[in-house]
Structure 1
Amino acid sequence: MSVKPPFTDLEINRSTQGFYEGHSLEIALLSKAIMIGLVIWALVSPANANGVLGSLNWQILEGFNSFYIIIVGFFAFFLFVVAALPQTGKRVMGRPGAGKEFSNFSWFSMMFGAGLGVGLMVFATAEPLGLWGSNPIVVAGDVAPNSQEALQSAYRYTFAHYGFHAWAIYVVTGLSLAYYAYTRDMPLTIRTALTPLFGGLMNGILGHIVDVLGVVATILGVSVTIGFGISQFIDGMYAITGMEWMMNMTGDAPTPGTVGLIAGLIVIMSLSIISAVSGVGRGVKYLSNLNLVLSLILLFTFVLFGSFLFAMTTYATALVDYILNFVSLSFGAYGPQSPDQFTAALSAEAAPFADALRAGATNAWGSFDGFRSGLEGEAANLSEDALKAAYAAGEPGRQFGWQAGWTTFYWAWWIAFSPFVGLFLARISRGRTVREFIIGCVVAPALVCFAWMTILGGTAIDLELTGGAEGAIIGASNTAKLFVTLGEMISGGFLSAITIMCVVLIMTFLVTSADSGILVMNTIMSGGDQEVGNKHKIVWGVILTAVIGTLLVAGKSGGADPMEALRNAMIIGALPFTMVMGLMCIALAKAMYRDGLRSKSGDLATEPAE
């Protein structure tokens, strides 16, 4: 039986002249209007912008936290099924005879380059240490924070946040783009991935909206990445120079100040724009090579001077634990605990004091001792058993708060980042089988991330466990933990040299991330065309700088954490694209099933693509 041929007539109207020549006017103008509107709002009324973004973010988390958790679990299992099924896993992403574009060595090298970036520089020490002090097992009161017993659960959630789930998010987007681009000769742009569901509708306003959602998500995802990287860059500059004008010295530990963050942002984004206009061959290529060399030097420094045996033991046990708990990590979602639900769970003795007890009992970042010491009046005079029961009654609220503030933040970050990384993975994977793409892009980079987290983070934890650091690493800000760990591990001129090298590495990672983000945004707006004029690279570089700068200022105006407004905006912006990704999975399943029928009936094209 003959099967109807797939829809491939994707037409993205592009301007033929003027400033926007080669670009879709609708996508470019709508994307810029949204971003410029956000910049003006944050510039004119930073406190209002921070407050509204925070309020909207919390409403989204209350309504969609479970959705974020479950759909990411679905992405991982969807890809495993697609890879395992013979009829889908063996399908080649390319026409017969086209061959692979890159050797296995080059493919893996570029993939690792995508995985080892700003996020790992910031969180390789901060993530394991943070989760060692607070994770769902600690929140439940089953183990004490920062103890030997908390190590297993700390790495279980560290691996969850940087493992197969994270890379599955990237690969859903990357596989969708690569499959249509290389089997159907369609453009590498977001709307292409939904053509099996919506066909010709993707040529109109619906297609523009999908692409704009991809651009907005990319901008906000890259902005959060650069925001964290800039903060660590300033921490490193302070460690080298001791210049206090860059820092906020009023807290328990120095943190990057607004002036330092804006100065660092201007430096990094200026270099990024220069790199972007110099072209991939000159800019990104040379910086990527430098990144690889410096990353290996940093890794071997920790291998030689850090707690390598402790790290490798942790790696092996944590990987087994992660796999054993994979299903619960994928679908164990929590919803908010209402005041009525909390009150109903209290004992008769504690119920009259529900309002006084609820805030402390549901605080995911507190402890039982903190809950008890924070009570006043008659509530403070309740019996020990009543207080313990009240704290236990608030566990669902604590679990929701922890998950929403930690795991869901990561899922939103990776989703917002997925058009960027997914498009990169698609570009380098022509000629690969679907199974090869999924296993190579989910498993291999995750194992490298695990190594970074255990070698760098394990050293930091071991220094605290053995008492050598005496709380110095735990007490440092997230972006300063790497430098404090190095200071506890080595000393003298070698420490100075490695610290300078880390600052250079952070800078080059930031420049390549921003450079590539600018290119991806322009690729989407030009309908998949990778040849973008320099003027558009400069414009988007300036817009990206303005978005990050104004949201950093807005976040600082609302509290101590300048990243707050950026994080809130990113979680809000990621939600619509999460829904697009869910549709991508349905569309890809349909496309592969229909292509299987066409292959059996002899209707699938067999000519090599030109």
Structure 2
Amino acid sequence: MSIKEPFTDLEIETADAGFYENYSVPIALISKGIMVALVLWALVFPANATGTLGSLNGKLLESFNSFYVIIVGLFFFFLAVVALLPSTGKRIMGAPGEKPEFSNFSWFSMMFGAGLGVGLMVFATAEPLGLWGSNPEVVSGAVPGNQPEAVQSAYRYTYLHYGFHAWAIYVVTGLSLAYYAYTRGMPLTIRSALTPLFGRLMNGFLGHLVDVLGVVATILGVSVTIGYGISQFVDGIYAITGMTWIMDMGGEVPTPSKVGLIAGLVTIMSLSILSAVSGVGRGVKYLSNLNLVLSIILLGTFVVFGSFAFAMTTYGTAMVDYILHFLSLSFGAYSPLSAEAFASSLPAAAQPLAGDLMGGATNAWGSYEGFKSGLTGAAAELDETTLTAIYAAGEQGRQFGWQAGWTTFYWAWWIAFSPFVGLFLARISKGRSVREFILGCVFAPALVCFAWMTILGGTSIDLELAGVADGAIIGASNTNKLFVTLSYMIDGGLLSMLNVMCVVLVMTFLVTSADSGILVMNTIMSGGAEETGIKHRIIWGLILTAVIGALILAAGDNNPMDALRAAMIIGALPFTMVMGLMCISLGKALYRDGVRDNYDGAAQQAAE
């Protein structure tokens, strides 16, 4: 009795001629329709769009915060099991005996380039500093924020957000795409990853829907990345030139204005579209290599002029702490605190005032002292013991708010970005074993991220602890913290040179991210083709520009990133469910392929 062969007859119908030649018309039209509708909604009804996105985002987080946290923990442990099992870990992603396309050094270098992008330029200092002031240990009152006692827990969560879980998200998508493309000869597109579960259904509307979800997630994930990058780009231009017209000078600290953000967006996206039209994409590849060199120079500057000893001490203790708490970090999810539960846990004297007390007691971004100072009327007359009990009763609400605002945002961002990075990792890993792919793509780049965050962020924290910065770095906007840190490290011509270098780094990271993201979207719409038409890359470049610009303008007086963040978290949720199915599907495929191999081996021995 033979073992049934896997379904590989995936047919993605594409147009034979016309504007959409070699493209799937349903995927292209549905994807573009969704994005155009989002742009028109944001431009015509900006207040409604921002309010609705924010409200829907809040409701989704209330219902799915735990889902996001737990499923990402499951992604990591699923990959760990697949890598450790001899029968699955040894399988080659390619033909039997096929060798890796790239050397180990080149492979690692490309992963390094994928890991060091706009996110790390923006959050290298902003992440550790932000978590130093607010993390679950600070929220619970166990340690005071912005004090030496909070450094360890700050890096525990920094490593969580940029460590093994983050790369596991990328690898789930990348491994699924690579396995089916190189082992079974299927198209390098999202729907291929679900064929073991749904078979021929992937040839129809269900397959189109899966690919559309991948396109929508990618464009929203890339939008958030570009949004943060442009903000840092504008901050850098201001640091170099002092041009005030690109900044909003009305707040406590200068922040990029909408005029500056739109000007930066047009500049970056014009360069990206130009690279698609003129073939400068080859030049961008060389610029990517230059980025690696400039990144090493920037890191070296912090090693020489920064707080390297403090950073290395922090690196060691933070790594041990991260590993010891790994299981609780993976599955420690919080649900929102209901008004009824809060009221019932209050002391009797405070229960009539529950409605007035809950907002302050559950504010994840406040403090106990801030909670007390904000009380008025009868609430302000409560004794210290009662106030302490009230604040303790709100801890679940504070922990939920913190987790939804930090960890869940990151998980949604990485999930939305996973078709982009996953497809890149798949393309460079042909001929590797499953175990090599998982260990190499989860652990190696994560360790690089740890070092980057510790050396740059540790210097910022040390400058604040020593009183050198005197709160200036903490008070700066997230996208400006890197430039402010540099200004307290060095001065003169070297500072000017490094500011220019950082702006060049951000600019080229942005151009290559936008260009590569557009390529991924076109690859999905063309049924897995690696070479796509220039005109469609231009159109998606314009759509991407319009999406980012419209959501920035729709934010009104709010943070321009708020609408982008909300849209991205909403758009990532359906693709999170697709990724859960990818894991089940890949587990089934690996198991069935193992059964076939055993059967074929037994049959061959019997024949001999």
TM category, shorter: over 0.9
Tell me how far 1:281 sits from its aligned partner: 5.8
| Corresponding residue to 1:584 among 572, 582, 585 | 582
The aligned amino acid for 1:602 is D
Cα deviation for residue 84 of structure 1 reads: 0.5
Instruction: Kindly report the root-mean-square deviation, in angstroms, between the aligned alpha carbons of the 2 structures.
Output: 1.2
Contact between 1:595 and 1:604, CA under 8 Å: does it hold in 2?
no
Shift in Å, 1:530: 1.1
Which residue pairs with 2:216 in the alignment? Answer: 216
**Is the Cα contact below 8 Å between 2:61 and 2:404 reproduced in 1?**
yes
- Deviation, structure 1 residue 98: 2.5
- What corresponds to 2:303 in structure 1? 303
Provide the rounded CA distance (Å) in 2 between the counterparts of 1:108 and 1:3: 38
Distance apart, 1:283 and its partner CA: 3.5
CA shift digits 1:340-375 (9 cap, x unpaired) = 000011011111110110000000000011111111
| Alignment partner, residue 246 of structure 1 | 246
CA distance in 2, matches of 1:586, 1:274: 41
1:52-201 superposed matches below 5 A = 52-201=52-201
Shift of 1:99: 1.5
Which residue of 2 is the match for residue 275 of structure 1?
A: 275
What is the DSSP-based 3-state SS (H/G/I as helix, E as strand, rest coil) of the residue aligned with 2:138?
helix
Deviation at 1:508, TM superposition (A): 0.4
2:25 corresponds to: 25
Which residue in 2 is equivalent to 1:266?
Answer: 266
Distance 1:604 1:498, change over 3 A: farther
Q: For each residue in 1:199-225, what CA deviation from the matched residue of structure 2 results, as whole angstroms up to 9, or x when unmatched?
A: 000000000000000000000000000
Determine helix, strand or coil for the equivalent of 2:102: coil
Residue pair 2:334, 2:399 contacting (<8 A) in 1 also: yes
Contact kept, 8 Å, 1:363 with 1:397, in 2: the verdict is: yes
Q: Paired residue for 1:509?
A: 509
> Does 2:415 correspond to 1:415?
yes
Deviation at 1:277? Answer: 3.1
1:600 correspondence with 2:567:
no
Distance across 2 between alignment mates of 1:604 and 1:290: 53
1:357 matched to 2:323? The reply is no
Q: Which amino acid aligns with 1:311?
A: A
Aligned to 1:562: 560
CA distance in 1, matches of 2:278, 2:393: 59
Amino acid at match of 2:220: L
Pairwise CA distance, 1:473: 0.2
Note if 1:435 corresponds to 2:471. no
What is the one-letter code of the residue matched to 2:570? I
Judging changes above 3 Å, is the alpha-carbon distance between structure 1 residues 177 and 279 closer, same or farther for their aligned structure 2 residues? farther
Structure 1 residues 161, 433: closer, same or farther in 2, change over 3 A? same
Question: Displacement, 1:3?
Answer: 1.3
The TM-score with structure 2 as length reference comes to 0.98
2:7 aligns with: 7
Letter of the aligned partner of 1:580 in structure 2? V
Residue 326 of structure 1 deviates from its aligned partner by 0.5
Equivalent position SS for 2:245: helix
- How far apart are 1:471 and its partner, in Å? 0.5
The one-letter code matched in structure 1 to 2:571 is G
Looking at structure 2, the residues matched to 97 and 66 of structure 1 have their Cα atoms a distance apart, in angstroms, of 43
Q: What amino acid does structure 2 have at the position aligned with 1:440?
A: G
Deviation readout 1:105-134 (Å, 9 max, x if unpaired) = 111111110000000000000000000000
Equivalent runs, 1:501-580 vs 2, <5 Å: 501-555=501-555, 557=556, 559-580=557-578
Answer yes or no: is the 8 Å Cα contact 1:276–1:519 preserved in 2.
no
What is the SS of the residue equivalent to 1:244? coil
Pairs within 5 Å for 1:348-497:
348-497=348-497
In the TM superposition, what is the alpha-carbon distance from 1:29 to its structure 2 partner?
0.3
Cα distance change of structure 1 residues 414 and 549 upon mapping to structure 2, 3 Å threshold = same
Question: Could you give the per-residue CA deviations for residues 56-115 of structure 1, whole angstroms, max 9, x where no partner exists?
Answer: 000000000000000000000000010000000111111113321111111111111000
In 2, distance between residues paired with 1:279 and 1:575? 35
Residue 532 of structure 1: how far off its partner (Å): 0.7
For 2:333 and 2:576, how far apart are their aligned partners in 1? 16
SS of equivalent residue, structure 2 residue 560: coil
Rounded to whole Å, the distance in 2 between the matches of 1:213 and 1:604 is: 42
Structure-1 separation of matches of 2:73 and 2:389: 33
* Distance in 1 (alpha carbons) for counterparts of 2:558 and 2:186: 47
Deviation at 1:605, TM superposition (A): 14
Gap change, CA 1:603 and 1:3, over 3 Å in 2: farther
C-alpha separation in 1, matches of 2:496 and 2:106: 33
Corresponding letter in the other structure for 1:597: V
Count how many residue pairs are aligned between Structure 1 and Structure 2. Answer: 604
Query: What secondary structure is seen at the aligned counterpart in 1 of 2:18?
Result: coil
Give the drift of 1:284.
3.2
Give the distance between the partners of 1:575 and 1:283, measured in 2 at CA: 36
In the TM superposition, what whole-angstrom CA distance separates every residue of 1:134-180 from its partner, at most 9, and x where no partner exists? 00000000000001000000000000000000000000000000000
Question: CA deviation digits over 1:448-472, x for unaligned, max 9?
Answer: 0001100000000000001111000
CA distance in 2, matches of 1:502, 1:354: 49
Which residues in structure 2 correspond to 1:34-45 (within 5 Å)?
34-45=34-45
Structure 1 gap segments, 5+ residues each:
none
Q: Aligned partners of 2:584, 2:441: CA distance in 1, in Å? A: 20
Deviations 1:188-246 (A, max 9, x none): 00000000000000000000000000000000000000000000000000001111100
Given that 2:284 and 2:508 are in contact with CA atoms closer than 8 Å, whether structure 1 keeps it comes out as: no
The equivalent residue for 1:500 is: 500
Deviation at 1:602, TM superposition (A): 1.1
Instruction: Write the distance in 2 (CA, Å) between the matches of 1:413 and 1:378.
Output: 43
TM-superposed deviation, 1:286: 1.2
| Residue deviations 1:316-349 (CA, integer Å, cap 9, x gap) | 1101110110000000000000000000110111
8 Å Cα contact 1:94/1:431 also seen in 2: yes
After superposition, what is the alpha-carbon deviation per residue over 1:5-25, rounded to whole angstroms, capped at 9, x for unaligned?
000000000001011001000
1:302 partner amino acid: F
Please list the CA deviations of residues 8-60 of structure 1 after superposition, one character each: whole Å capped at 9, or x if unmatched.
Answer: 00000000101100100000000000000000000111111000000000000
> Which amino acid is the alignment partner of residue 571 of structure 1?
I
Alignment of 1:332-347 (within 5 A): 332-347=332-347
8 Å CA contact 1:343, 1:351 repeated in 2: yes
Counterpart residue type for residue 424 of structure 2: F
Do 2:274 and 2:280's aligned partners in 1 also have CA atoms closer than 8 Å? Answer: no
Shift of 1:604: 12
- Distance in 2 separating the partners of 1:343 and 1:15: 61
**Whole-Å separation in 2 of the counterparts to 1:274 and 1:603:** 54
Q: TM-score, normalised by structure 1?
A: 0.98
| d(CA) in 2 for partners of 1:550, 1:604 | 62
Structure 2 residue matching 1:303: 3-state secondary structure: helix
SS in 2 for 1:3: coil
Q: Residue 344 of structure 2 aligns to which amino acid in structure 1?
A: A
Q: For residues 97 and 401 of structure 1, what CA distance do their matches in structure 2 show?
A: 51
Q: For residues 216 and 279 of structure 1, what CA distance do their matches in structure 2 show?
A: 26
Would the aligned equivalents of 1:246 and 1:257 in 2 still touch at CA under 8 Å?
yes
CA positional deviation for 1:514 = 0.3
CA contact (8 A) 2:416 2:575 kept: yes
Residue 226 of structure 1 is matched in structure 2 by 226
Q: Contact 2:57 / 2:570 at 8 angstroms: preserved in 1?
A: yes
The answer to whether the 8 A contact 2:234-2:256 is kept is yes
User: 2:280 & 2:311 partners in 1: Cα distance?
Assistant: 36
- The residue identity in structure 2 corresponding to 1:586 is I
Q: Give the 3 Å change call, closer, same or farther, for CA 604–460 of structure 1 in structure 2.
A: farther
* Aligned mates of 1:603, 1:247 — CA distance in 2: 68
Q: In the alignment, residue 408 of structure 2 is paired with which amino acid?
A: T
Contact 2:196 2:588 (C-alpha < 8 Å) held by counterparts: yes
User: Kindly tell me: are residues 377 and 135 of structure 1, through their superposed partners in 2, closer, same or farther at Cα, counting changes over 3 Å?
Assistant: same
What displacement does 1:422 show? 0.1
Given that residues 598 and 604 in structure 1 are in contact (C-alpha distance below 8 angstroms), is that contact kept between their aligned partners in structure 2? no
Cα deviation, residue 302, structure 1: 0.4
Change (3 A) 1:166 1:280: farther
Counterpart residue number, 2:291 = 291
Q: Secondary structure at the match of 1:535?
A: helix
Identity %: 76
